[in-house]
Amino acid sequence: MSAKVKLNKRILDFFGEYLVLVAILLLVIVTIFVEPKFLTIGNMTNIMRQFGPLIMVALGMTFVIVGGFIDLSVAGLMSLVAVLTLAMIEPLGQLPALIIGLLIGVVCGLINSFLILISGAITQAEGLFITYGMSVVYGGLALTFTGGVTEHMSYMSCPYTIFTEIGTGTVGFFSTSFIIFLVVLAILYVFHEKTYLGRTINLTGGNKTAARLSGISINKSIVIIYTLSGLMAALGAIILFSRVTTASPVLGRNFETNAILAVVVGGTRLSGGKGSVIRTVIGTMLVILLANCMNLLGVSVFMQNVMRGAILILAIWLDSHKED
């Protein structure tokens, strides 16, 4: 009896740990055999470009989830950053617009964290609903600002070379957005694993009372995780609208669920305290490859949504079994 339970647990652990990698391998192998176009350079570049926006949001979300909270405001925030940044290119120039776009993300993140601190929300559910409300506010601001109209980059009379470079440029074999991703990943990895502030985020997510009693400022952690999430969502929004050359006021829709999916599928513990940016990269790879392979195989977008929901449920189910 006990041996059987142990075996079951070991099988579950194995799946929990390596399921994502096995799934990616299987998916890629099947796709290569059925649709050889998968391996063409065009498709590889395509995957790299699709990678850009989601990975940024997911990296920011990783810190929020590791810190024991969740951030649904990225959907509205991305829309707001995109429309405001695009509108500012003409009057202010490219570089200032880019910087202000990122600053808007930081400010929105700060607002989120202050609301959480003032209201004294300590559970994930409270954070979820407050950030959802803020997502509605940011999305509403984006809609009010544009009047519901999608803005086009190509209609502008001023140069917008920086954004073209971010969206469609290449450095050697890699796309520019992929290079940005590598740089950001390196910075975030060092911040999370090697600095004092980065480690306190893990402790906050693991056990808030213990963290406070050992002299860690939880409030500081909360401000950092939400600000980081806001900044990364803004970066993701800029990369996304540079690639599609239009900024719609509903640009960020569904990014929050996809980012959570990427983080959780990668194996970051949803209850907080455990996880890493590398895991998120693997999780995002699965989400992107899943979409790419299913598109190549001719699976409908609707069934892809069903698959995504099922994978999210499966990943959380495995996650909850790890805790026992």
Partner 1 sequence: MNFKINRSTFRKLGKYKALVAILVMLFVMLFFPTNFFTRFNIFDLLNSASILLVLAFGITFVIIAGGIDLSIGGTMVVSGIVTIKLMPHAPLLICMLGGLLSGVIIGLINGYLVVYQKTEPFIITLGMGLLLTGVAQQLTDAHPIAASNPKFMMIANGFMFGVIPNLVIIMLILLIIAYAILRFTQFGRNCYAIGGDYEVAEYSGINVRKIKTMTYVIGGFAAALGGILLSSKLNSGSCVYGDTTALTVISAVVVGGTSLAGGLGGIPQTALGLLVFAVMENAMIMLRINPYIQIILRGIVIVTILCLDSYGRKKRREAV
3-state class (DSSP) for residue 170: strand
Write phi, then psi, for 2 (nearest 5 degrees).
-65, -40
Task: Supply the minimum distance, in Å, between the C-beta of residue 264 and partner 1.
Answer: 7
Of the candidate spans 42-50, 94-102, 139-147, 190-198, the one that interacts with partner 1 by CB under 8 A turns out to be 139-147
Quote the longest CA-to-CA distance of the chain.
Answer: 74
Task: Supply the minimum distance, in Å, between the C-beta of residue 293 and partner 1.
Answer: 17
Query: What type of residue is 217?
Result: S
**Residues of this chain, 16-45, that bind partner 1 according to CB under 8 A:** none
The residue from 2, 5, 42, 120 that contacts partner 1 (CB under 8 A) is 120
The residue from 36, 96, 148, 159 that contacts partner 1 (CB under 8 A) is 148
Instruction: With CA atoms as reference, report the closest residue to 52 among 230, 234, 183, 178.
Output: 178
Q: State yes or no: residue 147 binds partner 1 (CB under 8 A).
A: yes
Cα–Cα–Cα angle for 203, 191, 163, nearest 5°? 130
**CA–CA distance, 290 with 286 (Å, rounded to integer):** 6
Of the candidate spans 2-10, 40-48, 144-152, 217-225, the one that interacts with partner 1 by CB under 8 A turns out to be 144-152
**CA–CA distance, 137 with 132 (Å, rounded to integer):** 9
Task: Supply the minimum distance, in Å, between the C-beta of residue 77 and partner 1.
Answer: 12
**Residues of this chain, 157-196, that bind partner 1 according to CB under 8 A:** none
Task: Supply the minimum distance, in Å, between the C-beta of residue 172 and partner 1.
Answer: 37
The residue from 64, 143, 211, 239 that contacts partner 1 (CB under 8 A) is 143
Write phi, then psi, for 171 (nearest 5 degrees).
-120, 105
Task: Supply the minimum distance, in Å, between the C-beta of residue 115 and partner 1.
Answer: 6
Are the beta carbons of 58 and 262 closer than 8 angstroms?
yes
Are the beta carbons of 55 and 259 closer than 8 angstroms?
no
Q: State yes or no: residue 302 binds partner 1 (CB under 8 A).
A: yes
Task: Supply the minimum distance, in Å, between the C-beta of residue 53 and partner 1.
Answer: 19
Of the candidate spans 8-16, 26-34, 93-101, 258-266, the one that interacts with partner 1 by CB under 8 A turns out to be 258-266
Q: State yes or no: residue 8 binds partner 1 (CB under 8 A).
A: no
Within 10 angstroms of residue 104's Cβ, the number of other Cβ atoms is: 21
